[in-house]
Amino acid sequence: MPLPPDLTQFLASVHPYDSLPDAALADLAGQARTLDVAVGDTVFEVGDTVRHLYVVAEGEVEITDGTGVQLSILGTRNSFGERALLRGDAASRTATVQAPARLIAIDADTFFELIDTHAAVARFFDRRRPERGRDKGVATLPVERLMTRDPVACAPDTPIRDAARQMHDRRISSVCICDGDAFRGIVTLRDMTGRVIVGGHAPEAPVAGIMTAAPLTLAPDALVSDVLHLMVERGIGHVPIVAGDRLHGIVTQTDLTRAQAMSSADLVGSVARAASADEMARATAQIPALLLQLVETGNRHEVVTRLITDIADTATRRLLTLAEARLGPAPVPYLWLACGSQGRQEQTGVSDQDNCLILSDDVTEADMPYFAALARFVSDGLDRCGYYHCPGDMMATNPRWCQPLRVWRDYFAGWIAKPDHEAQMLASVMFDLRPIGGDASLFAGLQAETLAAAAKNSIFTAHMIANSLKHQPPLGLLRGLATIRSGEHRNRLDLKMNGVVPVVDLGRVQTLQGRLRPVNTRARLEAAIAAGVLSKSGGADLLDAYDLIATMRLDHQAAQIKAGKAPDNFLDPSDLSDFERSHLRDAFVVVKTMQSAAGSGKGAIG
């Protein structure tokens, strides 16, 4: 079987190696070796240690999963083996030759050296290595990587003078107040100045008298960008890191260099300070450029969408504040919630708005015009900022979605008791609710009650599973890619409705089955694996598939923005390399397989 006469020339025709400088490409060709493999031979199988990345020079290789289900047939210029290499695990798939094959084998050390020294190769393979991604800057780090651990703390009955002495002696700007292991509040230099020197509190009085009780906090798994956004939006300089009621650390302005990761924080700050929706819109108009920057600097898809969603959250809260300034204080407590992609913290460059209002049960008919006006002000402001009115009218401006808590309880109880088509659709939307602004206690009890009731009702769960299977991955005969057949987007793939949404639906069902609290899709999948609702192997495959699809969607939108076009979700598969098409097809097959497992109702899926 003839190998292409010039291995260097052949590799130069295979993406991403076509991006290598001539010298690096020649080195790669010199280090690679070729293998002739007969029909029926196995290159590796489930459980094997994979030591090479393989490129098909000639022939065909079948990839099957652990149950023998065919995932794909790989032809010339397709690669395989990178999955196990990047995850550092034994192979979870089997590669068997279907037609006499000649393979180019690139050993693991050479493969990782390519990733470490060539940015284009790294970017290409980063989407396949969730745990090996390189740091993308301080903004995307977990906050626990930068926080001050074991911050200075004192008891609530500590005299103010003693707390001030600790701050002076240690040259710090705050002290945390803890009752045993329980975090209670914080005292800063500003508190000392305003409440003691100016306010007249006696230095011998307990420090609890001047502390800020229950301050804004973040969890240890928050991102540094979350700290920046909170500081900029709320005008604070200290953020305690708390899990449950236990203090883990603290982040202050002096812990961070403001010059780092201020791209999204700058937008958050501009939105938070805006005096009108028009001024806010000038800031949100920069979101496409931000998305492009975040994608091009190699941030993971869930980080990009979270940062983009933070801006929508800030815009919503600022509009609520502006609404109250115009309309006066709300007559009763209320809570504004987002659903859809904003609720799941998964907004991209294309977003409408989906939201609702939960009102205190003390609300009267006389109060309702106030909330109708508030909803209209906020919804129109969001539309002005590029978060367009929902075509399905799933907004707080619709009286149906601006109701007292008791009515919302009746809604969910009715949908669960009688899961007809409309109930399934509405429940699918409303199970993605996330509080944005107002009294969050109005939702906490409702969420817990609804998850418990839904999980107990097997008929409702079965209907929700069936509803989740309506959006199918775009696979045709022989598991090839099936594009849209007619219309404006003919010959393209809808990476939202046929790519991301099927995984979103699976994640939502698993949330119900496991009574899990997360709303974000990736967090739902991880929680489902931890709870045993998803098997470890099936869950890992589904996470990989979701990461690949979501990343390609963002890459596609970034490319459109860079070309001066409005971003959308419709990808022409001819724009992809053979390698990318192959792995996108594999990802769709994984999603389809997991849908089939969910539909069968056989315990933990996967």
Q: How far is CA 199 from CA 192, 202, 209, 210, in A?
A: 9, 9, 11, 10
In the CATH scheme, what is the code of domain 142-255?
A: 3.10.580.10
**Neighbour count for residue 28 (Cβ, 10 Å):** 23
> 403: closest CA among 414, 392, 411, 394?
411
CB-CB contact of 225 with 140 (8 Å): yes
**Neighbour count for residue 204 (Cβ, 10 Å):** 9
Q: Which CATH fold topology does 7-134 show? A: Jelly Rolls (2.60.120)
Percent of the chain topping pLDDT 90: 52
Supply the angle between the helices 458-468 and 441-456 in degrees, to the nearest 10. 100
Bridge partners, 494 (sequence order): 570
**Neighbour count for residue 261 (Cβ, 10 Å):** 23
Supply the pLDDT for residue 313.
95
pLDDT digits (tens, 9 = 90+) for 14-64: 878 887 888 888 889 989 999 999 999 999 998 889 999 999 999 989 888
Q: Is 415 helix (H, G, I), strand (E, B) or coil?
A: helix
CB-CB contact of 251 with 227 (8 Å): yes
Q: How confident is the model at residue 261 (pLDDT cuts 50, 70, 90)?
A: very low
CB-CB contact of 70 with 479 (8 Å): yes
Supply the pLDDT for residue 310.
93
Q: For residues 543 and 21, which has the higher predicted lDDT (pLDDT)?
A: 543
Rounded to whole angstroms, how far apart are CA atoms 24 and 522? 37
Query: In the numeric block, which tokens belong to residue 199?
Result: 């306010």
CB-CB contact of 544 with 83 (8 Å): yes
Q: For residues 411 and 260, which has the higher predicted lDDT (pLDDT)?
A: 411
> 509: closest CA among 448, 458, 584?
458
- The H-or-E segment that residue 368 falls in is helix 368-384
Rounded to whole angstroms, how far apart are CA atoms 358 and 437? 11
Instruction: Characterize the bridge pairing of strands 402-404 and 355-359.
Output: parallel
- H helix count then E strand count, the chain: 22, 19
Supply the pLDDT for residue 284.
94
- Segment among 276-285, 304-313, 424-433 with least mean pLDDT: 424-433
Query: How much is the average pLDDT of 429-439?
Result: 92
Q: Is 77 helix (H, G, I), strand (E, B) or coil?
A: coil
What CATH architecture applies to the domain 262-461? 2-Layer Sandwich (3.30)
Above 70 in pLDDT, residue 134?
A: no
The residues, any chain, with a CB within 8 Å of residue 135's CB and separated by 6 or more, are: 141
Rounded to whole angstroms, how far apart are CA atoms 47 and 89? 9
Instruction: Decide: pTM greater than 0.75.
Output: no
Percent of the chain topping pLDDT 70: 92
**Average pLDDT score, the chain:** 88
**Highest-confidence range of 59-68, 478-487, 587-596, by mean pLDDT?**
587-596
Supply the pLDDT for residue 420.
86
**DSSP assignment of 379-405:** HHHHHHTT-BPPTT--STTSGGGEEEH
To 10 degrees, the CA torsion angle through 384, 390, 394, 396? 10
CB-CB contact of 331 with 370 (8 Å): yes
Q: How confident is the model at residue 381 (pLDDT cuts 50, 70, 90)?
A: very high
Burial class (CB in 10 A: 0-12, 13-18, 19+), 531: middle
**DSSP assignment of 422-470:** HHHHHHHHHTT-EEEEE-THHHHHHHHHHHHHHHH-HHHHHHHHHHHTS
Above 60 in pLDDT, residue 582?
A: yes
Query: In the numeric block, which tokens belong to residue 242?
Result: 């708390």
Q: How confident is the model at residue 262 (pLDDT cuts 50, 70, 90)?
A: very low
Above 70 in pLDDT, residue 254?
A: yes
Rounded to whole angstroms, how far apart are CA atoms 376 and 336? 13
- Segment among 130-144, 149-163, 305-319 with least mean pLDDT: 130-144
State which CATH number among 3.30.70, 1.20.120, 3.30.40, 3.30.460 fits the domain covering 469-600: 1.20.120
pLDDT digits (tens, 9 = 90+) for 178-191: 999 899 999 999 89
CB-CB contact of 40 with 97 (8 Å): yes
pLDDT digits (tens, 9 = 90+) for 304-359: 999 999 999 999 999 999 999 999 999 999 999 999 999 999 999 888 899 999 99
- Segment among 13-27, 120-134, 590-604 with least mean pLDDT: 120-134
Above 60 in pLDDT, residue 396?
A: yes
Q: How confident is the model at residue 2 (pLDDT cuts 50, 70, 90)?
A: very low
Helix then strand then coil, in percent of the chain rounded to 5, is: 50, 20, 30
> 587: closest CA among 478, 521, 502, 515?
502
Q: Is 148 helix (H, G, I), strand (E, B) or coil?
A: strand
CB-CB contact of 544 with 587 (8 Å): yes
Q: For residues 395 and 114, which has the higher predicted lDDT (pLDDT)?
A: 395
Backbone angles phi, psi at 43, to 5 degrees: -75, -45
To 10 degrees, the CA torsion angle through 258, 260, 264, 266? 30
Above 60 in pLDDT, residue 127?
A: no
Above 90 in pLDDT, residue 250?
A: yes
Q: For residues 208 and 119, which has the higher predicted lDDT (pLDDT)?
A: 208
Place of tokens 């999948």: 525
Query: How much is the average pLDDT of 220-237?
Result: 86
Q: How confident is the model at residue 129 (pLDDT cuts 50, 70, 90)?
A: very low
Q: State the sign of the Cα–Cα–Cα–Cα dihedral 471, 474, 477, 478.
A: negative
Supply the pLDDT for residue 62.
87
Spell out the domain ranges in the chain: 7-134, 142-255, 262-461, 469-600
Q: How confident is the model at residue 132 (pLDDT cuts 50, 70, 90)?
A: very low
Supply the pLDDT for residue 3.
45
